[in-house]
Amino acid sequence: MIELQHLTKTYKTRTGEVHAIEDINLTIEDGDIFGIIGLSGAGKSTLIRCINFLEVPTSGKVLLDGVDLGALTYKELLNTRRSMSMIFQGFNLLSQRNVLKNVTYPLEIAKVPREEAIARARELLAIVGLSDKEKAYPSQLSGGQKQRVAIARALATNPRVLLCDEATSALDPTTTQSILDLLKHINKTMGVTIIVITHEMKVIDSICDKVAVLDKSHIVECGRVRDVFTAPKSDIARELILPMARTLPDAIEGTKLRLVFDGEDARQPFIAGLIMECGIPVNILFADTRESDGAVYGQMLIQLPDNEDTLARVRAYLDAKGITYRKEV
Ligand SMILES: Nc1ncnc2c1ncn2[C@@H]1O[C@H](COP(=O)(O)OP(=O)(O)OP(=O)(O)O)[C@@H](O)[C@H]1O
Ligand SMILES: [Mg+2]
């Protein structure tokens, strides 16, 4: 378990102090896939770097299974850090080393015998699906393949925690999904706790169990993804969840409902049903839904005529279909 207690990091710059993170309190349980989401400059990278003490916090504590990282000697800290690996947006591979040697690198540092290191690296390359690339150099790989090598390297020392700082931000949507699937697989099969930092709600939605929303150096809300997703309390969470809604003109009249789909049967034509069964003109303002195995996921913002009777009928219809919705203001 990782506990962050009153974690604060202040940078002193020539133009004054920058409070990158302030009074962060979080508990991350073993086996969680925990997301931290926020806009650029919110303090996400600072927070994740403080978790493994790459950045020494100005005040507050990081406890790993009750052990206060700030109380360790440098040598103890190096040892502990081996159980917390990190991957980055820019992959950070060693360009002079081939794939296999990138993966064995942390094992060399840990003085693992060569044969053993190579066997372990091959095992990991098989897990990330790159067994045929062990002799390739980073420049010969695609972005997704580079991130797979970085993941294999991060897992080489058998970490208990994997910290991911915008690990999929440089990748296209399909490659992003394949990397997220791989992270989920690693979490499930190896029991590695994963902390994911991102500015994309899709990443959180796709793999995280819990999420904390970071805004201007503070955690503004935290909870199960499903709860935050369906009922965001902070303005910033609403903006991150429905980015397009922000660009809608304020003057849009009528009642706005946000529908949340979480695996509903995709064969049911909800909107057509609303229009035909309830006889209500429905306008789709925004939709970000996807289908997977006949189930629909995502969100939709619809506009209805502004009267109580209409709303009551729509509510009854959605309740009967088991669709989650919120009235937007
Ligand atoms: N080494 C540093 N020295 C001074 N200020 C810093 C330093 N690192 C970060 N900051 C400042 O701290 C704040 C938070 O930065 P951080 O990199 O943690 O944000 P972020 O949420 O990761 O942003 P992004 O999504 O753009 O990566 C910013 O105002 C940034 O300018
Ligand atoms: Mg960052």
* H or E element in which residue 34 lies: strand 33-37
Instruction: Provide φ and ψ at 247, rounded to 5°.
Output: -90, 0
Is 44 a pocket residue for ligand 1 (Cβ < 6 Å)?
yes
Q: Per residue in 87-97, pLDDT tens? A: 999 999 999 99
Which residues does 301 contact at the CB level (< 8 Å), separation at least 6? 242, 244, 245, 248, 256, 257, 258, 259, 284, 285, 286, 287, 328
Q: Are 17 and 58 in contact (CB under 8 A)?
A: no
Q: What is the rounded distance in angstroms from the CA atom of residue 120 to the CA atom of residue 178?
A: 23
Q: Are 242 and 301 in contact (CB under 8 A)?
A: yes
Better-predicted residue by pLDDT, 294 or 82: 82
Is 38 a pocket residue for ligand 1 (Cβ < 6 Å)?
yes
Is 192 a pocket residue for ligand 1 (Cβ < 6 Å)?
no
Q: What is the rounded distance in angstroms from the CA atom of residue 117 to the CA atom of residue 97?
A: 15
The residue extents of the domains of the chain are 2-233, 242-328
Q: Which CATH class is domain 242-328?
A: alpha beta
Q: What is the dihedral of CA 293, 223, 201, 260, to 10 degrees?
A: 50
Mean pLDDT of the chain: 90
Sheet with 33-37: list strands edge to edge: 84-88, 161-165, 193-198, 33-37, 210-215, 218-224
Cross-strand pairs, 115 = none
CA 48–ligand 2 middle distance (angstroms): 9
Q: What is the rounded distance in angstroms from the CA atom of residue 6 to the CA atom of residue 102?
A: 36
Section 231-258 average pLDDT? 75
Q: Which CATH class is domain 2-233?
A: alpha beta
Q: Which residue among 46, 54, 168 is best mutated to probe the pocket of ligand 1, counting the most ligand atoms within 8 A of its Cβ? A: 46
Ligand 1 atom closest to the Cα of residue 19 is 12
Q: What is the rounded distance in angstroms from the CA atom of residue 266 to the CA atom of residue 160?
A: 38
CB atoms within 10 A of CB 195: 25
Instruction: Provide φ and ψ at 77, rounded to 5°.
Output: -65, -45
Q: Which residue among 18, 56, 213 is best mutated to probe the pocket of ligand 1, counting the most ligand atoms within 8 A of its Cβ? A: 18
CA 163–ligand 2 middle distance (angstroms): 12
Q: Looking at 44-48, 180-184, 244-248, 257-261, which range is the least confident one?
A: 244-248
Query: How much is the pLDDT for 273?
Result: 83
pTM of the predicted model as reported, rounded to 2 decimal places: 0.83
Section 99-113 average pLDDT? 95
Q: Are 48 and 86 in contact (CB under 8 A)?
A: yes
User: 74 is written with which tokens?
Assistant: 């440098």
Place of tokens 């946000």: 258
Q: Which residue among 10, 11, 54 is best mutated to probe the pocket of ligand 1, counting the most ligand atoms within 8 A of its Cβ? A: 11
User: 36 is written with which tokens?
Assistant: 């931290």
